[in-house]
Amino acid sequence: MTGVKVRDDESFEKALRRFNKFCEKSGILSDIKKHQHFEKPSDRRKRKVNAARRKARRSNRFRGDYM
């Protein structure tokens, strides 16, 4: 269970912002979004292949190698 202790001199809004940042860093929100709906194994593979292609294209663009 994630939690953030509110300090004495800290407002609620600031503590909430720290909590949201902590959740984002730990990947909790993305994990929840990923598990909201069932994803077929074929769709999962397709998504991963497309992500790898995008990543390769992005790295090639920065290196100067164009397809």
Shared-domain flag, residues 26 and 12 = yes
Q: Which of 66, 49, 48, 46 is closest to 57 using CA atoms? A: 66
* Residue 61 vs residues 1, 29, 51, 52, 58: alpha-carbon distances, Å: 41, 30, 15, 14, 5
Shared-domain flag, residues 42 and 19 = no
Shared-domain flag, residues 6 and 20 = yes
Encode pLDDT of 15-67 as tens digits: 999 999 998 899 888 888 888 999 999 999 999 999 999 999 988 877 765 55
What's the pLDDT score for residue 65? Answer: 58
What's the pLDDT score for residue 67? Answer: 53
Shared-domain flag, residues 25 and 14 = yes
Residue 1 vs residue 47, higher pLDDT = 47
Shared-domain flag, residues 48 and 31 = no
Shared-domain flag, residues 46 and 58 = yes
pTM value is: 0.50
Which positions ≥6 away from 57 have C-beta within 8 Å? 67
Shared-domain flag, residues 6 and 32 = yes
Q: Which of 35, 67, 44 is closest to 59 using CA atoms? A: 67
User: Which domain, by its residues, includes 18?
Assistant: 1-36
Number of domains composing the chain? 2
Separation between Cα atoms, residue 36 and residue 50, nearest integer Å: 21
